Amino acid sequence: MTEQALKALLDSMTLEEKAGQLVQCNAGMFIANELAITGPDGEPLPAEELCRVMGSVLTFEDAEQAKALQDMHLASDPKQIPLLLMLDVIHGLRTTYPIPLAMGCSFDDDLMTECADMARRESSACGVHVTFNPMVDTARDARWGRILETNSEEPLLNSRMGAALVRATQGDDLSNPENVACCVKHFAAYGAGEAGRDYNGVELSERSLMQDYLPAYKACLDAGARLIMPSFNSLNGVPSVANKKLMIDLLRKEWGFEGIVISDYNAVGELVNHGIAADMKDAARLAMEAECDIDMVQCAYYQHLADLVRERTVSEATVDAAVMRVLKLKNELGLFEHPYHGADEEKEREVYLCAEHREIARRAAEESAVLLKNEGILPFRKDVKRIALIGPFAEETRLNGFWSRPGAERYTVTLPEGIRNLLPDAELNIVRGCGANFEDTETAGIAEAVRVAAGADVVILAVGEPEDYSGEGRSRAELSLPGPQMQLIREVTAANRNTAVLLFNGRPLVLTELTETVPAILEMWYPGTEAGNAAARLLWGEANPCGKLSAGLPRSVGQYPMPYNRMNTGRPKPLPDDRAVPFSSCYLDMPNLPLYSFGYGLSYTSFTYESLITSERTLKENGEIQVTITVQNTGNTAGKETVQLYMRDPVASVVRPVQQLIDYRKISLRPGERAEVVFTVREEQLRFYNMEGREVSERGEIRLSTGYADHLILTESIEII
C-alpha cells in the first residue's frame, strides 16, 4: 500500500479499531495449541470481539495455525487489516542451536549469522512475521535465570552478536516472505535486577547505564531492528514501559527510533502492581503517554484507550502515531497483499531439521563448548573399548534450554546416540546414579555407578542443572549442582580418574568443588538438537574445543555482582589473590577473582602469543592505529583461538575499568602455524562517558593488552594526544 493509502485507512478507522491495532493477544485464545503461554493468566477476555479488532497475536505453533489465525481474523475484520504474527524464536525454531550465552562463548559473529539465518528459514516457513529476538540484556549476576538468554556479560560481545542476528534475520527486504522482523529486548537493563531476582527493580547510575547496559540495544537498532520491547523492571524508580526518559527522550528523540515499541507480557497492566498506576485505565494512559505502541496481552489498551481519547486524557494524535507505526510494519512485510507472508507447510517439511541445519547446529554446539579443565584426560582415545556414561544427564533429552520451542526435546540427539554414532563398536554402559533436582536426596544408585566406572576404560560424567532451573522467573540464590550430584562425582572419580565431566546448564554455576575433584570439565551449556553428536566429537577430538567464557564463573554466589570490567578501587587487593590483605578491597574468606574469568577457555592444542605491536605510539581524535598480535599454534593439533584485545585507561576524569574488551577475532591455526592478527583501533572505541555524561576520550596513556580477562599479557602503551 502507498503512504496515502495507509493514511486513508487510518482515517477510516474508529477509535475502537485503532485501539484494537495496539492490542496483542495469545493465539491460544482463538486456536487450540499446546504452547505454554509466556506469562501469568489474566482475566478472561472477549475472544470474538478481540479477534475482529486485534492487531497481532503471539505464540502459535506452525504454518497451518498461522494461516488459520489470519483467516479467522480477516473473515471478521471489515477493514481487512492483516494480523502481525509474533513468536519467541530465541535460538532456533525446530532445529535448536545453543542458548545465547553459549553462542557468546563461540566469539564468532559469522557463526551467529549462520545460526540466525537457519532460524530465519524455519521461522518464516512457520509463518512468523516478528521474532522477539535478540535479547541483549547485559547480565553480570548468574542468580538471574535469564542470563542464559543473553550472549554475554560483555557489552561489545552482546552488541556484535545481537546485530549479526538482526541482519541475518531481517535480510535486506522484509517484504521477502523468507525474512522476519526482529524485536530487540528488554529495554532497558533488565539483567541488573536487585539480588539477581527476575522482574526486580534496577538502580543504575546514568554512566553505568550508558557504558554497560545501553550499547547492545543501540547496536541492534542500528542494525535495523524494527521493534523494541521495554522491560518488566523499574529503572531508577520508573517501570520501563512508562518511562518517558527512556522511551521518548532517549529512544525516540536521541536515538531517532521510528519503529514499534511493544510491551512485554502484560507489563502495561503490571504498572498497577508497581504502584505507579491506580488502575488499568491509568496504566494504559501512562504507557501510551510513553509511546508504548502495542500492549501485549491483558489488553489495558483494548479496555480503556478509546475512553481515554474521548475524555481527552490521551490525544488521538498519539494513538494515531502508534497505529501508523503498526500499519507501516505490516505494509513493509507485504501483509496487505500477502497476509500469509512465508507460512508454508511444504517448506516446513523441507527445512525443519534438514541435514544442513543439523550441521550448523552441531558446529555451533562444538564451538560454544568451553574446555575448563583438562589434566591430560581429553581427548579420549578412539580405540577405547568400555565407556561408562554416568549421571542424571546421561540419557537426558532436555538439553535445549528454557526458550527452545516446546517439544524440542523430541528431536535432541542424546549422549548415547552421539557416542554410538561416533564409536558404534565400543561397549557403552549407562548408569543414572542420582537425580539433579533440588529435592533429589536418593543416593542408592551411586554404588552401581561406581562399580561400572571402575570397570571402564573411560568415564563420562553427565551432570548439570535441569533445563527448567534457568530462564524466565527462574532465579536461584545458590548456584551449586542441585541434588546429590557432587557425591556421585566424588565417588565415581575416586573409582576411575580417567573421567571427564560434561556440564549441562543455562547459567554460570559455582564449580569450585567440582574443579578440585575432577581432572577434566567440558562446559556444554544447553547445546541444542545436536547435543549428543557435538559432545561425542569433542570428547574424542573430532572437534577441538575453542569456546571462551562469555561470562565469568564465580567461586561463590557471594561474589556477585562480579563484572569482569570492574573498577580498581582506592585500595586494590594486591596479588596473589589467594589470601586476604588487610585494608584492601578483598574478602576474608574467598579470593576476589572468578574461578574462571571472562574470555577463558582451553584447547587440545596450545597457542603462544608472541608479540603485540602498535603501528603508532600516539592516537589523535578520530584517528586510528593498527595493533598486530602474533600468535602461534605450538601444539600438535589444529585449533581455533579467539584473540582478544583489551584496553585500560589508567588515568581519566572518572574511574575506568581495569580491563575492557575493545575487539576480538577468531582464527584457525594448524600445528606450528603462525598468524598476525591486525586490529584497527579507532579513537572512538576508547571513549567513555565523563562526569557530564558526554562520550569523550581524554589525552593520556592507554594500555593495550591481549590474553583474557584478569590474565592480560603483552601490554603496550599508546597515548591519546
Please report, as ranges, the residues that interact with ligand GLC according to CB under 6 A: 38-39, 58, 88, 132, 185, 264-265, 472
> Of 145 and 379, which has the nearer Cβ to ligand GLC?
145
Distance CA 36, CA 408 (A): 13
> Of 88 and 108, which has the nearer Cβ to ligand GLC?
88
Kindly tell me the number of DSSP H helices and DSSP E strands found in the chain: 21, 26
Nearest approach in angstroms of CB 165 to ligand GLC is 14
**Grid cell digits, residue 510:** 559455582
Query: Is residue 579 classed exposed, middle or buried when 0-12, 13-18 and 19+ CB atoms within 10 A define those classes?
Result: exposed
CA distances to 372, 562, 573, 648, 714 from 577, rounded to whole Å, are 20, 15, 7, 20, 21
Degrees, nearest 5: CA angle 507-513-514: 65
**Grid cell digits, residue 468:** 527448567
Q: Which of 1, 19, 11 is nearest to 55 (CA)?
A: 19
Identify whether 468 is a catalytic site residue. no
Nearest approach in angstroms of CB 58 to ligand GLC is 6
Cross-sheet strand order for the sheet of 84-87: 260-261, 227-230, 181-187, 130-131, 84-87, 56-58, 23-26, 295-296
> Of 473 and 558, which has the nearer Cβ to ligand GLC?
473
Nearest approach in angstroms of CB 265 to ligand GLC is 4
Nearest approach in angstroms of CB 651 to ligand GLC is 41
Nearest approach in angstroms of CB 607 to ligand GLC is 38
Nearest approach in angstroms of CB 120 to ligand GLC is 17
> Of 39 and 483, which has the nearer Cβ to ligand GLC?
39
> Of 455 and 473, which has the nearer Cβ to ligand GLC?
473
Nearest approach in angstroms of CB 112 to ligand GLC is 19
Are residues 52 and 45 in contact, defined by beta-carbon separation less than 8 angstroms? Answer: no
Are residues 546 and 642 in contact, defined by beta-carbon separation less than 8 angstroms? Answer: yes
Are residues 172 and 124 in contact, defined by beta-carbon separation less than 8 angstroms? Answer: no
Distance CA 167, CA 24 (A): 25
Q: Which of 521, 390, 536 is nearest to 453 (CA)?
A: 390
| Helix boundaries (H) for 397-528 | 415-422, 446-454, 485-495, 512-517
Beta strands in 59-191 (DSSP E): 84-87, 130-131, 181-187
> Of 214 and 227, which has the nearer Cβ to ligand GLC?
227
Nearest approach in angstroms of CB 592 to ligand GLC is 33
Q: Which of 62, 264, 282, 295 is catalytic?
A: 264
601-618: b (≥16 Cβ within 10 Å) or e: bbbbbebebeebebeeee
Residues sharing a CB contact under 8 Å with residue 254, sequence separation 6 or more, in sequence order: none
Determine the residue type at 45.
L
> Of 132 and 302, which has the nearer Cβ to ligand GLC?
132
> Of 37 and 486, which has the nearer Cβ to ligand GLC?
37
Write out the catalytic residue numbers.
264
